[in-house]
Chains A and B, each alone.
Chain A
Amino acid sequence: MVQLPIYLDNNATTPVDPRVLDAMLPYFKESFGNSASRNHPFGWKAEEAVDWARETIAKYIGADPKEIVFTSGATESDNLAIKGVAEMYASKGDHIITATTEHKAVIDTCKALERKGFKVTYLPVNKEGFISLDDLKNAITEKTILVTIMYANNEIGVLQDIESIGKICRERGVLFHTDSTQAIGKVAFDVNKMNVDLASISGHKMYGPKGIGALYVRKKNPRVKLSAQIDGGGHERGMRSGTLNVPGIVGLAKALEVCMTDLSEETARITRLRDKLYNGVTAVLDEVYVNGPDPLTAPEWRLPNNLNISFAYVEGEAMMMGIKDIAVSSGSACTSASLEPSYVLKALGVGEDIAHSSIRFGIGRFTTEEEIDYTIEHVVTAVKHLREMSPLYEMAKMGIDLKSVEWAAH
């Protein structure tokens, strides 16, 4: 028997893996020291743990331990990277390049800089969510100081061609930041191979705790300098003051270690479940559209755990009501505070009706085959129930082109 509710929203957050929790617990209790206390064993023990965490994280992304700056999460890392570079290199230039489909932590940080006089280019994406490398090349000017493009998109799972983007940036002498929150621990990531200068990392998307993250900051070729955004005791080589969250830091490193230890097996298992879900619903339902790269024909360009699909003629929030025992998310306006459909889906140019009909399934480490079977069955039932009462489905089946209808927009 399947245990309800089922959690299929692992692109929003993930549970802490028991191995991660076990690694963290001593640092709440007997090893509670402040890693900045240099004169007693309590401090040494904490410092040792932080050093281990720094080395572990660095090892898995091909970095040097001195290049890891701990933060409170990816939003802070994005802010520190983008504002930190903008302020530090303001005398060199005032132009930043990003994409329209970035996370709000990047978009809104760029908007804040625009209010301070910086210029920002928001690159468009194609139907699958990729930026064009030619657009990027053409956007870079003498005034460009930073390119910030995410590795994996949180909504549609598209993986940008980070290696090529990094190469372009390196050739043009522009710093490259990537928000790798969704990608790290799920797909291979190497800061040197990919020419990444700054990378944002989060704990809670990879079975670590919430409230902890890191920023990779390249130390040489080129040496990246950042203007600190939080002042204080000069922790993290002056880039991020504040007593280190030792249990969180240990949890972050342990989480990454667990992910990387079984990466290929886990990727294979999760991909199989994702494809089973996709094949299961499309075998029965017509007019199901994938948002982002096709999981079957272009799996290398998509997060293995992410399936974002639109059930045409069915509204997303109604769909979520129909599968109320399955936790997913939707790009529908009705599920957002702003009552606007997902800006990421709108940026794909797929039509707002498709955005309203989208459901994001995020498969995780603890997702079982039985849960996927249950999900397929209930998704199919809900879509049939809702299409039965959808005027759009009826009109489409009668051969009416919905685009030719004069709708009274409200």
Chain B
Amino acid sequence: MYSEKVLDHYSHPRNVGTLDPNDPNVGTGLVGAPECGDVMRLQLKITDDGVIEDAKFKTFGCGSAIASSSFATEMIKGKTIDEAFQIKNTEIVKELNLPPVKIHCSVLAEDAIKAAVSDFRAKQEKLKEVHS
């Protein structure tokens, strides 16, 4: 029913954890809703040059949702935020071999990446305003 890769990410999730949401270099994306059965929180630590140096996640959801977010943290580290913003859910589907009923888990992971990057950008904008 589940691919080997999903099972592996489920049993040994990469980068579970929490980054300080108040750190100006941390972008947080919280997507989904408890009543829908999945909530993902993705946090990215981004250098001043816009490179993702760390990523942490926590997910409430099925095994595929956990695997999608775990894999997303793996693939995103080292990328620039512009590159991260280009990541498509289909890359996650392909890597994890998700069946059609689980595509929404990968969409949620893509949304989480975009939300985290947007949060970081908004924070940076605010900082600039304060300084100028």
Q: Which residues of A contact B (CB under 8 A)?
A: 313-315, 317-318, 321-322, 332-334, 339, 341, 351-353, 356, 388-394, 402, 407-410
Q: Are A389 and B66 in contact (CB under 8 A)?
A: yes
Q: Are B32 and A318 in contact (CB under 8 A)?
A: no
10 contacts between A and B (CB under 8 A): A315-B61, A333-B36, A334-B61, A352-B37, A353-B37, A388-B16, A389-B16, A391-B30, A402-B34, A410-B108
Query: Closest CB of chain A to B9's CB: distance in Å?
Result: 11
Q: Are B33 and A315 in contact (CB under 8 A)?
A: no
Q: Are B36 and A315 in contact (CB under 8 A)?
A: no
In the complex, A313 Cα to B2 Cα: how many Å? Answer: 22
Q: Are A351 and B60 in contact (CB under 8 A)?
A: no
Q: Are A390 and B36 in contact (CB under 8 A)?
A: no
Q: Are B35 and A389 in contact (CB under 8 A)?
A: no
In the complex, A407 Cα to B111 Cα: how many Å? Answer: 13
In the complex, A408 Cα to B107 Cα: how many Å? Answer: 13
In the complex, A408 Cα to B35 Cα: how many Å? Answer: 10
Q: Which chain B residues numbered 8 to 38 have a C-beta less than 8 Å away from chain A?
A: 10, 13, 16, 18, 30-38
In the complex, A321 Cα to B1 Cα: how many Å? Answer: 10
Query: Closest CB of chain A to B104's CB: distance in Å?
Result: 7
Other than the given A389-B58, A391-B59, A410-B31, 9 more pairs (CB < 8 A) read: A321-B10, A333-B37, A334-B62, A352-B36, A389-B57, A389-B59, A390-B59, A407-B34, A409-B33
Q: Are B36 and A410 in contact (CB under 8 A)?
A: yes
In the complex, A58 Cα to B95 Cα: how many Å? Answer: 59
Q: Are B32 and A313 in contact (CB under 8 A)?
A: no
Q: Does B39 contact A (CB under 8 A)?
A: yes
Q: Which residues of B contact A (CB under 8 A)?
A: 2, 7, 10, 13, 16, 18, 30-41, 57-63, 65-66, 101, 104, 108, 111
**Across-interface contacts of A318 in B (CB, < 8 A):** 10, 61-63, 65-66
In the complex, A322 Cα to B59 Cα: how many Å? Answer: 15
Q: Are B13 and A391 in contact (CB under 8 A)?
A: no
Q: Are B32 and A407 in contact (CB under 8 A)?
A: yes
Contact of A391 among B7, B58, B63, B111 (CB under 8 A): B58
Q: Are B18 and A409 in contact (CB under 8 A)?
A: no
In the complex, A113 Cα to B61 Cα: how many Å? Answer: 38
Q: Are B32 and A334 in contact (CB under 8 A)?
A: no
Interface centre among A321, A393, A407 (most CB of B within 10 A): A321
**Across-interface contacts of B30 in A (CB, < 8 A):** 391
**Across-interface contacts of A351 in B (CB, < 8 A):** 35
**Across-interface contacts of A313 in B (CB, < 8 A):** 60
Query: Closest CB of chain A to B26's CB: distance in Å?
Result: 15
Contact of A321 among B32, B35, B41, B63 (CB under 8 A): B63
**Across-interface contacts of A389 in B (CB, < 8 A):** 13, 16, 57-59, 66
Given A409-B35, A410-B104, A410-B108, do A390 and B60 touch, yes or no (CB 8 Å)?
yes
Contact of A407 among B7, B33, B58 (CB under 8 A): B33
Question: Nearest chain-B residue to A387 (Cβ)?
Answer: B60
Considering the complex of A and B, which 10 residue pairs feature the smallest CB-CB distances, nearest first? A407-B33, A352-B35, A353-B34, A391-B58, A391-B41, A317-B62, A356-B37, A334-B62, A321-B63, A409-B33
Q: Are B101 and A339 in contact (CB under 8 A)?
A: yes
**Across-interface contacts of B31 in A (CB, < 8 A):** 408, 410
**Across-interface contacts of A353 in B (CB, < 8 A):** 34-35, 37
Query: Closest CB of chain B to A9's CB: distance in Å?
Result: 16
Q: Are B58 and A315 in contact (CB under 8 A)?
A: no
In the complex, A248 Cα to B87 Cα: how many Å? Answer: 57
Contact of B34 among A317, A322, A352 (CB under 8 A): A352
Contact of B60 among A322, A392, A408, A410 (CB under 8 A): A392
Query: Closest CB of chain A to B37's CB: distance in Å?
Result: 4
Interface centre among A315, A351, A389, A409 (most CB of B within 10 A): A389
